[in-house]
Chain A
Amino acid sequence: MTMALDTPRPALTDLVGKTLSRRRRWKLGEVVFWGLTAAAPFMLPRGMLLLNEVAILALFALSLDLILGFAGIVSLGHAAFLGAGAYAAGLFALHVNADPLTGLVVAVLAAALLGFLTSFLVLGGTDLTRLMVTLGIALLLFELANSFSAITGGADGLQGISMGPLLGLFPFDLQGRTAYLYSLSVLFVLFLAARRMMASPFGLSLRAIRDNPLRASATGVAINGRIVLVYTIAAAYAGAAGALMAQTTQFVSLDVLEFHRSADLMLVVIIGGAGWLYGGIIGAILFKVLQDAISLATPQYWQFWIGLLLVVFVLGGREILHGLLARSRTALAKLASRRAP
């Protein structure tokens, strides 16, 4: 009897393996998309600063998508990890070493450590408890950063950060070209890692947990271990986004830990669609373009429109938008398949 349980049926393993390897295969649309992002500096030489922000926000959204979209953990305090990464990178550059890549690694490790420690707080409980706990942790960090102003600079922020050239070769320029390419490369590498992870048995088990924790644990998924792992990874991703933000703007302030960061991020992920790795990236692009357009028109009250967007979205706009996205995706796929043979 135990034998049968220990060795999965070969047909099933085969099927799972086939499905996963099909998911791992690269589609034409993806290649085109990343090609476009790499070519962006030539097409939009003036939009580098904005594109840099988009890439960083996309990485941050990717991070939330890992836990929200794939593992089903709601979080209202994801800014905690962004802030941890940003402050770690900023302080490291200020006091230890101005090399961007070393700083990035340090920030990722710091955020991952924070993520690992706090992951145990989100293990149990309902959605509501998780929302409250994550929100509480972000608020705690905000208060800490505010109180220890001798280290963090308090409301004035960390000033006087100056980054060394990337890889010792490319200095950060005013147009933000290096910054964008740097952020884009980090996003791409981490995206590849996430893509591979989510198309692995680990990714499948996360989805199982999201859809039905009880059934997942009955089929032998060690729920707690998986959640701790994915939460730590997501925190590391958010830390990387924070580090990129600190390094490319050469400034860190309490703003990175503010509540609106976490709330806006929810909107970004929801616009693009949760549980789909490109969702965060598409959401980030739409969100930034929208933010740019609205804040040009009404700089002071742009939050009103974000709020309206959220309300309309939840009341029924989401189905419409995602229907459009899905339809255009199938149309693109048809187009591609017609051209291919």
Chain B
Amino acid sequence: MLTILFDGVAYGMLLFILASGLAVTLGLMNFVNLAHGAFAMAGGYVTVVLMQRYDVPFVATLPFAFLVPAAIGAVLERTIYRPMYAKSHLDQVLFSIGLVFMVVAAVDYVMGSQQQLIRLPAWLQGRFDIAGIGIGRYRSFVIAICIVLTIALQYVLVRTRFGSRLRAAVDDQQVARGLGVNVGVIFSLTFAVGSGLAGLGGALGVEMLGLDPTFPLKFMIYFLIVVTVGGRSGLTGPFTAALLIGVVDVAGKYYVPQLGAFLIYALMVAVLFLRPQGLFAVAR
């Protein structure tokens, strides 16, 4: 029972890291990017390729899993994403679905459609017992990384100059510009970091979520749920929502496996019906 709770928390933490970039672009910048999962998949494949072809140890691949998607994100933001900011939600949806379709087919072509497997180092395998609760080593590792990242993110967003500039740019672009904030650069940086975090999450998730070319489509809905259910006013809402979803999903799949993901979708529809602005949103 507690093991399930622990696994759920690990899963939720991972979801939060995966979706944190989306929490900023969709939640704060109000840009619907359904292709967010593609960056996560990029990170996952960076790790897989480095480990399988170049024998790089798992932990050493993680920085690359952050940097490569971040670079891709920065380039794409500068070139094709920027014109989309001003367009309608419908256009943004169509555009990013198109991107997802392209990425899924392209990755299938290059990497093949099979599930990718990686061998974790020995010190991350297996589990240990604390007071009779089985705790996976890898899951504790993931939780530890995610906690550090979450604290860092919250700190950057709330306490630093960059964070306050970002919040200003999101709240009112024109005024922020007028005050000398370089909105374009801030958005590029934010987008890149968000993509990088997604990539890192994707790399960490190869072991827990699996990795194949349909990853962006399979998990798209989960990321969206985290952000829309969490509310779009900061990172605390999505964080709580991610934990909630992680625990409910793991418990649901364990106790009533025949329902599959039914519980999560039902939860989402119910929350959005009762609180269209999200579970933890403050009315604006």
* A binding-site residues for B, Cβ under 8 Å: 68, 74, 76, 120-121, 124-129, 131-133, 135-137, 139-140, 143-144, 146-147, 259, 263, 266-267, 270, 300-304, 306-311, 313-315
Residues of B within 8 A of A121 (CB): 269, 272-273
Check if B101 sits within 8 Å of A306, measured CB to CB.
yes
Q: Report whether over half of chain B's contact residues are helix, strand or loop; otherwise say mixed.
A: helix
State A137–B261 Cα separation when bound (angstroms).
12
Check if A132 sits within 8 Å of B268, measured CB to CB.
yes
Which stretch from B40-48, B59-67, B81-89 is at the chain A interface? B81-89
Interface string of B22-52 (1 = CB under 8 A from A): 0000100000100000000000000000000
Name the residue among B80, B98, B100 with the largest chain A CB count within 10 angstroms. Answer: B98
State A127–B89 Cα separation when bound (angstroms).
7
Check if B105 sits within 8 Å of A311, measured CB to CB.
no
A81 to chain B, nearest CB (A): 16
Residues of A within 8 A of B272 (CB): 121, 125, 129, 132-133, 136
State A310–B34 Cα separation when bound (angstroms).
13
Knowing A306-B101, A311-B80 touch, does A267 contact B269 (C-beta < 8 A)? no
Knowing A129-B228, A140-B262, A144-B262 touch, does A304 contact B106 (C-beta < 8 A)? yes
A318 to chain B, nearest CB (A): 9
Knowing A74-B89, A139-B261, A314-B84 touch, does A133 contact B97 (C-beta < 8 A)? no
Identify which of A139, A267, A301 contacts B108 (C-beta below 8 A).
Answer: A301
State A132–B230 Cα separation when bound (angstroms).
13
Check if A143 sits within 8 Å of B259, measured CB to CB.
yes
Knowing A128-B89, A147-B258 touch, does A308 contact B102 (C-beta < 8 A)? yes
Interface size class of B (residues with CB under 8 A): 35 or more
Residues of A within 8 A of B273 (CB): 120-121, 133
Knowing A127-B89, A128-B89 touch, does A137 contact B269 (C-beta < 8 A)? yes
Residues of A within 8 A of B259 (CB): 143, 147
Does B126 belong to the interface (CB within 8 Å)?
A: no
Additional A-B contacts beyond A306-B98, A315-B95 (8; CB < 8 A) = A140-B262, A263-B97, A301-B109, A303-B101, A304-B109, A307-B97, A307-B99, A311-B102
Name the residue among B100, B101, B262 with the largest chain A CB count within 10 angstroms. Answer: B101
Interface string of B100-115 (1 = CB under 8 A from A): 1111111011000000
Check if A315 sits within 8 Å of B80, measured CB to CB.
yes
State A140–B228 Cα separation when bound (angstroms).
17
Interface string of B253-275 (1 = CB under 8 A from A): 00000111110011011001100
